[in-house]
Structure 1
């Protein structure tokens, strides 16, 4: 799932105006991929994905890739991986995309289907604490589809939320390419399975959100890679 789609970067650079691009500091972008193991092939997917991570290790990939499984929510049983903290130009520098794709086709795609693949930008003014996600045992993931035309109001609202003392560690991301452009995700670290139920509720003004969902993901150290 790590093959590089160069068109993603080219299209993204076209979306961002020169002014907005000048305001981006390095390290704000992420790639997220969601896969759904094929029925009855979860074990084969896990083994194949681990073989694919060995390819990244053997090819000295400098990027960190983290992996999670969905344990609560609409996508329970699916898998998400991602690489974070990049400048947008980094996505033109992936390790041997053709060979990566070939290994992926050998070890991963026979056992899972792609659900989504997108590039996201971390909204620094709305985020607090260190870059998320991290290697916490669990991650709370809230996904918001904002009513078209209300994106600026939504971003102002979540920026105001970040100033509240109770919101000490969270990362907001905005989808830049790979799906509905009015989509935002909120990531928060959780230490226990039940801990997600004690997180502070995100209170947003009415009339901004078209759809919202909350999910809990379990971090998978054996399905993650750090150089």
Structure 2
């Protein structure tokens, strides 16, 4: 069944409907990494679930995905993210004061926010439908590029990306730059072992490979 799932994913990427799109304005994302405090993992998850119920009650139009890191240096940390926005969307989130107040009650007492980045999807470097989605696992490969090598790196990836489903994001604000993040949907834990690390051309200083497990109970889809 795992092999069939992987094959189906590969065939979907070969369809013309999955060819990479032209760059659009709705290409921005926010990704936030949160670590629960010692002994507070269960309390954090229950509090985060309550916070998502606030988003549902407020009729938040944004989708919020949630994952737990299961491989890599950030194992057991939590990441949430919202994707497919215009940059101006971040100026008008739903009820920001009420959102912050609920977060302070239900999440902040049990966890620390350790990073928060704003990213832009790079469609010319990508193939397939934009990721992430609700696949069981998400492979995240982070490329740290030497300053001044960004354009060369982008051109090289755009030439070589092929047809395999993948989405690239470039860090715009909120972390060490230049930095690019490659997302690939993974059907099973074992399938992650066959992915490898593509794109090791000149200009890359460091590559981080991580695997995240999708958490439906810690995600919100309006």
TM over 0.5: yes
Structure 2: how far apart are the matches of 1:115 and 1:160?
35
SS of alignment partner, residue 75 of structure 2: coil
Runs of 4+ in 1 over 6 A off after TM superposition: none
Match of 2:112 in 1: 113
Show structure 2 runs of 5+ residues with no match: 1-21
Judge conservation of contact 2:157–2:199 (CA < 8 Å) in 1: no
Q: What CA deviation, in whole Å up to 9, does each residue of 1:120-177 have, x standing for no partner?
A: 0000000000010000000000011101111111111111122x2xx42000000001
Judge conservation of contact 2:47–2:107 (CA < 8 Å) in 1: yes
Show structure 1 runs of 5+ residues with no match: 1-22
Q: Is 1:188 paired with 2:187?
A: no
| Alignment coverage as a number of residue pairs | 201
Structure 2: how far apart are the matches of 1:126 and 1:81?
23
Structure 1: how far apart are the matches of 2:197 and 2:43?
38
Match of 1:222 in 2: 217
Q: Is 1:172 paired with 2:168?
A: yes
Match of 1:151 in 2: 150
Match of 2:58 in 1: 59
CA RMSD of aligned residues (A): 1.2
Match of 2:73 in 1: 74
Structure 1: how far apart are the matches of 2:69 and 2:187?
15
Structure 2: how far apart are the matches of 1:62 and 1:39?
33
Structure 1: how far apart are the matches of 2:45 and 2:24?
35
Structure 1: how far apart are the matches of 2:23 and 2:177?
18
